[in-house]
Chains A and B, each alone.
Chain A
Amino acid sequence: MRRLVFAFVALLLCTAPIAAQDVTAPNEAEIDGRTETISKTLRCVVCQNQSIYDSNAPLAEDMRKLVKKRVEAGDSDDQVREYLRDRYGDYVLMSPPLQTNTILLWAGPAILILLGGFWFLLRLRGQPAAQKVDLTDEERARIATALNDKGGST
């Protein structure tokens, strides 16, 4: 019995800090981690081909700060992205969302591969007819007589 109580108390002691950690929401490491992942999906609006995570532009730096502030305020990853998209448009997202004006962009490579494959098959099918067949002298002679016969009968 004593051992059981001891075990129970020990269990309580080791769960207490874990529970405390959950309650204090602003976990610095977690916030930094999420800020990093979100920043990597947002495009720097001054440098065009970098995420705000990679960019040294002053505006990108301030955007990273903003992302961190939003995360600390309890926004989800998508809410943070939506916040900036609302102000800068789709441009600010590193990967363009699938919607009517980007459908060609997303489907383009697949369409090209399909078209290419279709074309390739067509060519492949046409190929045997165009292949050169070597005839023996005997075969040539038979064709010649056959053509002559045909020419004679008409």
Chain B
Amino acid sequence: MTWSRLAPVGVFFVLIVFLAIGLTRDPSVIPTEMIDREMPSFELTELRDESVLLSNQDLVGQVTLVNVFGSWCVACLQEHPTLMDLSRDGTVKIVGVNWRDDRQDALDWLTKHGDPYDAIVFDAESDLVIEIGVTGAPETFVLDASGRIRFKQIGPITPDVWRKVIRPVIDAIEQEATSAS
């Protein structure tokens, strides 16, 4: 008789274990669907010069970081020094996606904090951002030379994230390219 008395406790315990596992997950981090897909085609203006059109073709040719940012984005400031360092050292091509911003606000923000971008796509209405499944800023995609998305970083690139996560991804892509040729 005792086992049947304890059965609900057992079921309850199993449930608790599942819920506990659930608690360790961060619900704001949504796994991306975009890995190993081609960068979708788009055509948007360059932030600094409205007459220049940028497209997915501008992201082909070398390993590129595509960084989603906005002057309204607080966490973007956290990664900004890292991006500035990368751009100063010429480590990797960095293309910005200025998301849901006002052109002038964005330009002012870049004057104030520095401009690490080789090109900036001006995406005021989330056209590109929804195409690549962005959920927030900052988010950074790593593209290989053929323009394929290889990695997505959700949240700021701190020096630690750069060293431990993104640098190894870029190294692996480059190694792959040299061994293939």
Contacts and interface: CB of A to CB of B under 8 A. Distances in A.
A and B together in one complex: yes
A128 interface: no
B38 to A, nearest CB: 13
A87 B130 CA distance: 7
B30 interface: yes
A59 B135 contact: yes
A63 interface: yes
Interface string B131-149: 1110110000000000000
Interface size class of B (residues with CB under 8 A): 20 to 34
A30 interface: no
Interface string B1-20: 10011011001000000000
B15 to A, nearest CB: 8
Interface residues of A, number: 23
Nearest to B15: A112
B60 interface: no
B82 interface: no
Nearest to A123: B4
B98 to A, nearest CB: 14
A116 B8 contact: yes
Interface in A10-42: none
Interface in B94-142: 100, 125-126, 129-133, 135-136
Interface in A115-135: 115-116, 119, 122-123, 126, 130
Prevailing SS type, chain B contact patch: loop
A116 B12 CA distance: 11
Contact of A48 (B7, B11, B27, B133): B27
B154 to A, nearest CB: 11
Contact of B126 (A59, A112, A122): A59
Given A87-B34, A89-B30, A119-B8, A62 B125 contact: yes
Interface in A43-60: 45-46, 48, 58-59
Nearest to B33: A89
B11 A58 contact: no
A59 B68 CA distance: 13
12 contacts: A58-B100, A59-B129, A62-B100, A62-B126, A65-B125, A87-B131, A88-B33, A89-B32, A89-B133, A119-B4, A119-B8, A126-B1
Interface of B: 1, 4-5, 7-8, 11, 27-28, 30-34, 100, 125-126, 129-133, 135-136
